[in-house]
Amino acid sequence: MATIDIADGGVRVRFPGWERLAVWREEAVVPRAAIRAVELVDAPVGRARGGRAGVLVSGVLKVGYWGLGTGVRQLVSVRRGVPALRIAIDREAAGLPFDEVLVSARNAAELAGALVPSNV
């Protein structure tokens, strides 16, 4: 499962071995200045929609890029039963090829609290 760290410069998402193949990267770093919104998502598997490039185990797991052809591209690593952190970003300011990061983390509520808009 991917891990999320909050640092002074922003949010870092690191992907373990096999997930790296699905997302085509070892990590993604979102600068704080590029964060537009943060949301805690209790049932994240259903939040990744649209075309995809990645791994899907229906109703259980999604890892890769979702939203292809929808206008909102998501970097996704979510699992059933594990809450997720959804971070909407300014793609151009971040220099990243996606508009949202949706990642399951057991401490997603704590992370969301640390990234409330007044702290961003």
Q: Tell me, letter by letter, the H, E, C secondary structure of the chain.
A: CCEEEEECCEEEEECCHHHHHHHCCCEEEEEHHHEEEEEEECCHHHHCCCEEEEEEECCCEEEEEEEECCCCCEEEEEECCCCEEEEEECHHHHCCCCCEEEEECCCHHHHHHHCCCCCC
What is the structure's pLDDT at 79? Answer: 96
pLDDT tens by residue, 26-79? 999 999 999 999 999 999 999 998 999 999 999 999 999 999 888 899 999 999
User: Residue 78's pLDDT is what?
Assistant: 97
Domain count within the chain? 1
47 inside domain:
yes
Q: Is residue 100 part of a domain?
A: yes
Give a yes or no: residue 120 inside a domain: no
Q: Which domain holds residue 39?
A: 3-115
Segment 89-116 shows an average pLDDT of 92
